[in-house]
Homo-oligomer: A and B are copies of this chain.
Amino acid sequence: MIKTTTVKVGEQPTGVPMEVPVIKIQGQGNGPRVYIQANIHGAEVQGNAVIYQLLEFFRQYPPQGDVVMVPQANPLGINQKSGEFTLGRFDPVTGTNWNRQYHFDSSLLEPFSQQYLDADEAVIRDAFRERLREQFYERQSSPWGLTCGQHLAMNLQEMAMEADIVLDLHTGPISARHLYVPEYARERARHFNIPLNILIPSDFDGALDEASFSPWWQLSQQFAKHGRKLPVMVDAFTLELGSQELLDVNAAERDALGICNYLQHQGMWPDKPFNCDPISLYACDLSDYKAYHSPAGGQVEYQALLNQPLAAGKPLATLWHFNTLGSESCLSRELTLPCDSIPVLHFASASVQQGTELYKVLTNTFML
């Protein structure tokens, strides 16, 4: 019932194919189809351990729906070293973020919605998915080819596009656990039991979560224009599971438990075998998820604790200017924020330029 295979996602100058491992679990019944992917950013390894723990859970409690899981989804990014670290966030040739290259062309929406305005939901679902597939194949057959990042993205997206639920497992740099939630899925997002949440609009900007849900959300909007209420038929989330370059297989079990809790509320296990201890869930809108940039170059002591409320004006970090040691100039300055916040993540290095993104914080928070 568990099958493993590989999918080719690219090819190196030496001719070595770049392949990703694919684990397929056949569902026991009629549950949602689920696609879960990890490590598209090369330094963000924790999701692989979460997939390992999920596989253990799926073995113990066979799921109703089909599951496809892809750990180590970006061989090029994972294997790209620069010094001791994994330079895995963007294509080293072009600088393009590996998670901004998924595809959707919205021009298909209007003709589709006119054709299927009165169709059954199930018919719409199948026909729209088929239309997405066609758009894909057309793009892949261009005589001009695709970029390296597009090859990777399209091979992954071809699997993701078949699913009703898409989970993309990331981490921050030095980071607390947090979740990107499309606004329409806000209620369901609680079940992940992730303490910090960012509500995002449902537009398409090239990331896997958006590429997965946005076509269906836009379809729903299109039908609404024509007066028909159509549910958004796909859920997709980006989970940020702690810090990059860190593998913690025990913590991964808790991460996996939250995911199973969400999945069982989506009908994956009718008898709901999983149980999470509820925690406080904070959230803010994407426009209130703020990045604070260093006002000067220097070396930083990060002081604000992650996932702990920080009052306006309280110490966020100390910026040191050791080049002024022994002189009259300002040696250090305390950095603060203009409003109350909850710090989510901070930069991974002590040496920063003017403009380095030092912290990202929730502001104007509310309970999810």
Contacts and interface: CB of A to CB of B under 8 A. Distances in A.
Contacts of A75: 12, 14, 16
A93 interface: yes
A14 B79 contact: yes
A327 B150 CA distance: 28
Q: Which range contains the number of A residues in contact with the other chain?
A: 35 or more
A36 to B, nearest CB: 12
Interface string A17-38: 0010101000000000000000
Contacts of A145: 292-295, 355
A87 interface: yes
A85 interface: yes
Nearest to A359: B144
Given A79-B16, A83-B85, A293-B146, A355 B10 contact: yes
Contacts of A146: 293, 355
B43 A324 contact: no
A72 interface: yes
A85 B93 CA distance: 8
A92 B88 CA distance: 12
A320 interface: yes
A148 interface: yes
A11 interface: yes
Interface string A271-309: 000000000000000000011111111111100000000
B325 A23 contact: yes
A230 to B, nearest CB: 32
A247 interface: yes
A322 B10 contact: no
A2 B71 CA distance: 40
Interface string A70-98: 01100110111111111111111111110
B292 A11 contact: no
B71 A322 contact: yes
Contacts of A297: 10-16
A350 B247 contact: yes
9 contacts: A4-B325, A4-B326, A10-B297, A12-B297, A15-B324, A21-B324, A21-B325, A143-B337, A148-B355
Given A15-B298, A45-B351, A148-B355, 8 more contacts: A13-B297, A14-B78, A43-B349, A45-B299, A55-B325, A72-B323, A145-B292, A147-B357
